[in-house]
A = this chain, B = another copy of it.
Amino acid sequence: MVKLVDVAREAGTSVATVSRALNNNERVDPALAERVRAAAAKLGYRPNFVARNLRRQSTKLWLLIISDIEIAFFTSVARGVEDTALKHGYAVVLCNADEDDHKEARYVDLAVAEQAAGVIISPHSDHTHIERLIDAGIPVVLIDRGLDEPVDSVTADSRGGAQAATEHLLQQGWERPACITGPQSAQTAVQRRLGYEDALKSASIKTRRVVHRPFTIEGGRTATAGLLDRNRPPDSLFVANAALTLGVLQELQTRGLRPGTDIGLVCFDDAPWAPFIDPPISVVSQPAYRMGTQAAGLLVERISGGRDAPPRRIVLGTDLIVRSSSLHPAR
């Protein structure tokens, strides 16, 4: 490993000058600086971030802790975060917490141990993790899911989107909707359920038909099976995310039920494949990429600007995109 002192010797100067020249923020004689850069290049010098970080007591690294890497929504968010981070000189690494408080804790520990410059996280349910970050003085912004903590956050209007989707189903003429949503521990899952119930309430429908499952394909499959095996099965479904939807589709196919003909279907998240399903799926679309850029923007401000500024909560709207799966055959 070639280090500063080696470069200094090669360039015939001191480590301090080399450090200054290479970080080209201090005034150092242009000719000398050039000699230093040449020496560094010749020796193939690479700064040791570990040492630098220890000395500076700060890094240029963000951790983006998401709850499930296999959900397309989060990968779009990640893109947004990344693009913005890059512009401001931060590197961002992704951590997959997998809807698991334990794994999430591991990554939070990693963030404080590595002295991350900031963290963007879609928290599962354990708010103590967020507090740990705050205690360690690491700026945090929540994404996708808010918490009661006084922290910056960027979320989509899950409740409103769910309500709109359900109302659409009802307007189409479907009469016995059901809601398949994520685990009680995930804020988005309950918000979407609440929005669904808001719509039922407005329509004076008493029967709720709500089922909570993990946000997985398997969860969607078993939820659908359970619902359809009831005495009075639902005639339509509001599904709270794309993974669940895949499971719903699977179970429907198994039973020979066709969305839009035999059963109404609206889903949260506009997955890229939604338009090509048979029939095309009606969805509630979230501005995932923009959520990422906004969260990153908030983090940048929090880091450089006012550490003590009041927390900001950004809530972005959702769009209902009607395709065929939600259309009632009688109309």
A residues contacting B by CB (< 8 A) are 1, 44, 46-51, 53-54, 59, 63, 69-70, 72, 75-76, 78-79, 82, 91, 93-96, 106-107, 109-110, 112-115, 135-137, 217, 246, 249-250, 253, 271-273, 275-279
Q: Could you list some 25 contacts between A and B, CB below 8 A?
A: A44-B135, A46-B112, A46-B136, A47-B113, A48-B115, A49-B115, A50-B53, A69-B75, A70-B72, A70-B75, A70-B79, A75-B75, A91-B106, A91-B110, A93-B95, A94-B94, A246-B273, A246-B276, A250-B276, A253-B275, A273-B273, A276-B277, A277-B277, A277-B278, A278-B278
Contact: B276 with A114, CB < 8 Å?
Answer: no
Give the contacting residue for A273; candidates B76, B82, B277; CB below 8 A.
B277
CA A75 to CA B246, docked complex, whole Å: 17
A244 to B216, CA, bound (A): 25
In the complex, chain B residues whose CB is within 8 Å of the CB of A250: 275-276
Instruction: Pick from A63, A106, A253, A273 the residue with the most CB of B within 10 Å.
Output: A273
Contact B63 A69 (CB under 8 A): no
CA distance A82 to B69 in the complex (A): 11
Residues of B within 8 A of A249 (CB): 276
Q: For A46, A47, A136, A217, which residue has the most chain B Cβ atoms within 10 angstroms? A: A46
User: Cβ of A112: which chain B residues have Cβ within 8 Å of it?
Assistant: 46
Q: How many Å lie between the Cα of A249 and that of B280 in the bound state?
A: 12
Complex interface: chain B residues within 8 A of A46 (CB): 109, 112-113, 136
Give, as a whole number of angstroms, the nearest-CB distance from A268 to chain B. Answer: 16
**Cβ of A128 to closest chain B Cβ, rounded Å:** 12
Assuming A48-B113, A78-B96, A273-B276, what are 4 further A-B pairs, CB within 8 angstroms? A1-B137, A51-B54, A69-B69, A70-B76
Q: Which residues of B contact A95 (CB under 8 A)?
A: 93-94
Contact (Cβ within 8 A) B278 A113: no
Docked complex Cα distance between A44 and B82 (Å) = 32
Cα A90 to Cα B70 in complex, Å, equals 21
* Residues of chain B contacted by A136 (CB below 8 angstroms): 1, 46
A114 contacts B50, C-beta separation under 8 Å = yes
A278 neighbours in B (Cβ, 8 Å): 276-279
> Measured between alpha carbons, how far is A217 from B274 in the docked complex, in Å?
13
CA distance A217 to B249 in the complex (A): 23
Q: For A79, A91, A109, A135, which residue has the most chain B Cβ atoms within 10 angstroms?
A: A91
CA distance A1 to B58 in the complex (A): 13
Task: Tell me if A96 and B94 are in contact (CB < 8 A).
Answer: yes
User: 9 closest pairs, A vs B, by CB?
Assistant: A278-B278, A93-B93, A49-B113, A94-B94, A273-B273, A249-B276, A50-B54, A50-B53, A70-B75
Q: Across the interface, name the chain B residue whose C-beta is closest to A246.
A: B272
A94 and B114: CB pair below 8 A? no
A115 / chain B contacts, CB cutoff of 8 Å: 48-50
Q: How far apart sit A35 and B51, CA to CA, in the bound complex (Å)?
A: 31
